[in-house]
Amino acid sequence: MLFCPTSSIAALSTPPAARTILQHHRSNMSSRSSSPSPVSTDSTVSTLNPMPMDDAADKTDDEECVLSQGRICICSSCEQERQKLELSRKRRRTSRASSASASSASLLSPDRCHEVGKPDPDAERLEKMTSACKTILTCIGEDPNREGLLKTPERWAKALLFMTSGYALTPEKVINDAVFTEDSHKEIVVVRDIDIHSMCEHHMVPFTGRIHVGYIPNGKIIGLSKIARIAEVFSRRLQVQERLTREVADAIEKAVEPLGVGVVIESSHFCMVMRGVQKVGASTVTSCVRGCFESNQKTRAEFFSLIGRSGGR
């Protein structure tokens, strides 16, 4: 049997690279101690083992941030900021997608879209009106292609559609549930001097003026602005003043079922100012009273005094 020292066994079983490290370690140990001691295989294994993973992670966490140097930094603080930024971006993208879906849904609602493959009725109507206006301009002796009239037919068509926009509205739509329960008030409520602009259906020229509305609540009241909107619904149509007065009174009566309602309209008609008798100072007054405004003379007189008129019907 052959006997080999421990150091010889280590030298034979150690790879060349590890042997170089071992020799370097021995020389260091020799310089530190006057009596060198043999290096065991345990120390060799300890020297060759890599750094534990936990220690490496701690070292990464302790690394200095280099973001201020214009370099990409992977320190823990920068990594947390990146994660927060990415989460914020995801939330914004989700919010934008939700808004886009809601917008698409509103654009595709039955009130705003038309059947695919068929022309837009609004555009078709505007085109017909524009063409008709060109014909009218020609009939009165004008040149529709003159510079000042090139866009007049389209402007006229849009203006007329606006002035008759009440056909697309109803009192129920403009009231929008703005009717409230209120039992404490049993006196007259008056909204006066509401400007109105309408079109005489006989000559299609304007008549303008003011409308005064009063009612006595019977447990329900209506939003004050809704009274003006109801007047707008019916005035933005081809009208006669007498019917307009009655329609506003009917709408108020239907909405709040009051004890009484009164409506008075004062206006100037351009059909008797610009043409015909041409009486500039003439004005027309119409009234409509329902319920206790009609049956009780004192109540009616109070209403007329509140709106600044002394007469009855």
Residue 296 is given by DSSP the state -
* Whole-Å CA distances, 151 to 90, 154, 209: 48, 6, 30
Tokens found for residue 115: 């059947």
Classify residue 227 by burial, with Cβ atoms within 10 Å: 0-12, 13-18, 19+: buried
- The pair of three-digit structure tokens given for residue 240, joined into one six-digit string: 């006669």
Structure tokens at 301: 């007189």
124 is catalytic: no
Q: Which of 25, 142, 182, 271 is catalytic?
A: 271
4, two tokens: 């080999």
139 tagged catalytic = no
Sign of torsion, CA 230 234 240 246? negative
Determine the 3-state secondary structure of 213 from DSSP. strand
Set 75, 154, 203, 294: catalytic member: 203
Q: Which of 200, 212, 266, 292 is catalytic?
A: 200
Query: Would you list the DSSP string of 21-75?
Result: HHHHHHHHHHHH-SS--PPPHHHHHHHHSPPPHHHHHHHHHTPPP-GGGTS---S
Please tell me the number of Cα atoms within 13 Å of 37 on its side-chain side: 5
Q: Judge whether 208 and 252 are in contact, CB under 8 Å.
A: no
Point out the catalytic residue in the list 63, 81, 202, 242: 202
User: Known catalytic residue: 75?
Assistant: no
Catalytic residue among 133, 212, 239, 241: 241
Would you call 269 a catalytic residue per the annotation? yes
Residue 25 annotated among the catalytic residues of the structure: no
Alpha helix (H) residue ranges in 178-296: 224-235, 241-256, 292-295
> How far is CA 212 from its chain centroid?
34
Give first-to-last CA distance, the chain, whole Å: 142
Residue 271 among the catalytic residues: yes
Instruction: State yes or no: is 201 an active-site residue.
Output: yes
User: Hey, which residues are catalytic here?
Assistant: 200-203, 241, 269, 271
